[in-house]
Structure 1
Amino acid sequence: MTASDKPSRLETGDDLDAFVESHDVALVEFYTSGCAMCQAMEPVLGNVARATDVAIGMVNPGDDIELVDRFDVRSVPTLILFEDGDETARLAEGFQGGDAVTDFLADHVPAAVGAN
């Protein structure tokens, strides 16, 4: 399945699991409603989705609280990179600009970033 040019909204852990399983490489933002930094990440992630071959999803763990413990989310926004269904890297340092997210992806999945 190819990446979309905008982040996919995921409602539940089941949606998250299906999204991750349907893409070889997927980046998922864990966010909360009312988080200004999280809201600012959405257009950044849209630009990253258009610039790379990485599928990008967004999930609010407050809508499925089990996700907080399952993925050890301690702050938002948290970006988690999945390859072949497994977590391979995470970025949990607050707001990240497009270059920082692209660099993060280039460090971990260079083929997906260099493809476009």
Structure 2
Amino acid sequence: MADEETDLHRAARKVVPHLDELIGERTPLELRDGLPPADDNAIRRLAATEPVVGEWLADYLDATGSGLRTYNPLSGDSELVAPSAVFRCPQGTLFWYRRFVGERPPRCPTHGVNLIRIDEGTPNS
């Protein structure tokens, strides 16, 4: 296992650039010396003495873990989402899409007129 890099070694190598922000005023060089490339126990000791580094390593290992990930679809109907209502300025300079049912369209900021709804099947011009 001398030439083999473990997940913990990879995580330790990735944390080194973040040591300044993680430990603040402490000298990062001393901690970099505490990250030997082939000693899992030394890396664990560093994580124990510097809890914020240990949390970073744990988060990294959790996020990059090789465990099986599954997909559970949300409950409910899997129907297509109805298209949003579209409104336009009568002068044709602005198109506005309603974000939720009941939202009132604004007035055209250029012409000061009410926007009109474009119904499905109606030409956009």
Provide the TM-score with structure 2 as the length reference.
0.25
Higher relative contact order (Cα pairs below 8 Å, separated by 6+ residues): 1
Structure showing the higher strand proportion among its residues: 1
Structure showing the higher helix proportion among its residues: 1
Larger radius of gyration: 2
